[in-house]
Structure 1
C-alpha cells in the first residue's frame, strides 16, 4: 500500500507542492503590505504567476510558483487610478482644496487628492484601521473612522470637494448627509456602482451586472433622483478599470444646488460631454411621436448630448427602457 492512493500517480499528487491563496502569497513574499492591497493588485491585473496574469485573489497557487508584479501602482490602492482618470477627464484642479473622502477605506482616493495638491482631506469610513499607514502619518489627512455616512455626521469645517466610494449601500442614502458639509463653489465626484443601486432582480449571479441595459436603467434612475434633488450633472464617464468581481463602474461629477453656474430650471438638467468606452444600451431618446410609437435613436459609444432634458422627458426615457423599447 502506498498510503496516498492506489497508484504512484496518487502518491505524486498528494506529495505535490503545497498551495496557498494568491493574496496570501503576495503578503508572505512581502509583495503587498496586507491582503487588502494584495487583492487590489490582483484585481487590477498587476500580478502574474509563472508569466501568466491571474486576476482572482482566491486562486490557489503553488508555493514554488514565480510571482511578479507589474509596474507599481502610483497610489495606495487602485481607487486612486479611478479618481485620477476622473480628474483628468473632468479637467478638475483640486490643488488647494479641502476635500471630504467618503468611504476612504485604504485611501486610494485620499492619496490621489493629496498627490494632486489638496490642502486637506477628511478621510471618512465606517470601518476602522483600514487607511494606509503612510496616509495616517500625513498631516494633511484627518482620519474619521467608524463614521457611517448613511446618517448625519459632524465635520469641523466645510469642504470644497466630496468624493464618494461606498459599497452595499446606495449613494442616494449618502449624498444628502454630505451636502451640508460643502461650501460653494464645490463639486461631488461619485464612483457609481450599479450593483448597489439596482433592484434585486436586476443583479445577476454573484452580484454581477453584465446587461448594458441594466446599466442604463440604473444610471437613468440616479439622474432622475439627482435632478429631483436639484443636483446638476456635469459629467459622466466609465471607470478605466473594472470594480470588484468584474463589475462595470462609472464616475459622475455633480454640483450642489448652491453651485449652479447658469439659470437652469429646477426640473431640468444638462448633460455635457457624456462619454463611454462602450455603449451602455440602445436607450430610447426623446423624439417625435409617429402614431402610437415613440421615435428612438440608438446612443453611440462615444457621443455628446448637449440638449436640455426636462424631468418629464427623462422619466419617459427610463419608463420606456424598462419596457424594453429600442
Structure 2
C-alpha cells in the first residue's frame, strides 16, 4: 500500500512559492505583462481573456515588442563586442527555438540572420521573407532531398557533421554548377555548465566531428572545387548562464583555428548559442552585454597570445531571443 506524500515532496529544493500568486517576476515574463486589480493578465496591452474569447484555447501568444527587443539587443551586444576587437560578428536566430513566418520577419528586420535545421524550418524561413544567402542549415543527419533544396534556393552556408555529408553536398553543388559554402562542426569536449541532457559538445555526441578529426575534413573540403570552406562551428549546449564554458571552448577552437590556418584561410569561427533564460525567479542571469564581451574577449585573447588574426565571429541565440516573450 502506498502512503500519501506531502504536496511538495517532489518539488525541487530551490522552488520558492510566491507570497503573491499574481506576482510576475521580471526575468520570467515579458516586460509588458501586467495584472489588474482582479488578477486578470494582459500581455502587450491585450487581456488574455479577450484573446481566449477571440481565438479559443489552447493558444500560443508572443509579445512582438519583446522578441524584437531581445533580437536587437543581442545583435548589438555581440557585434559591438566584436567590433571593439577589430572584427565583426554575424548573429543568427536559431529557428529551432520557435519558428514561424512572422517571427522570421521580426528577427530579420532587427538585423539577424536565420539558422534552420529541417526542410520545414527552411520553407518557413523563406515564407517569412528571409534571404537564403543569410541563412545557415544545421542537422546531424540531413536527407539528400533537404540538401538538394537548400542548395537550390542558394543557402548561405551548410554546417556539416560528417565526412559523408561533405561528399553529398559536393556532388549536389557540382551537378548544379555552384560553389557551396560549408562549415565543419566540431566537438570541443567542453562539458557545459548545464544539465547533461542539454550538453552537446561531449566527445560521444552525434553532433559534429572530434577536434582531432577536423583537419582531415577541412582538407577534403578545400580540395573539392564545388565547395568553399567557410570556417569552424561549435556549440557546447543549451541553458548556459555563465561564460566559463564558452571561454574554455573558445580556447580549444582557436587552437584548431591556428592549425587550419597553415593550410588556408579560416574566415569565420561560429561559437553557437545556448545562452540561458530564467524559468524561475531564482535563476541568476549574467547581463547579456557582459556575457557577449566575456566570450569575445576570450577569443581575442587566445588569438593574440598565438599571434593570430581575429576572424569574423558568428553566434546563434534562439531561446534567449524568444523565450521570455
Give the TM-score band, short-chain normalised.
0.3 to 0.5
| Structure with higher RCO (Cα < 8 A, 6+ apart) | 2
Q: More strand by proportion, 1 or 2?
A: 1
Higher Cα Rg, which structure: 1
Q: More helix by proportion, 1 or 2?
A: 2
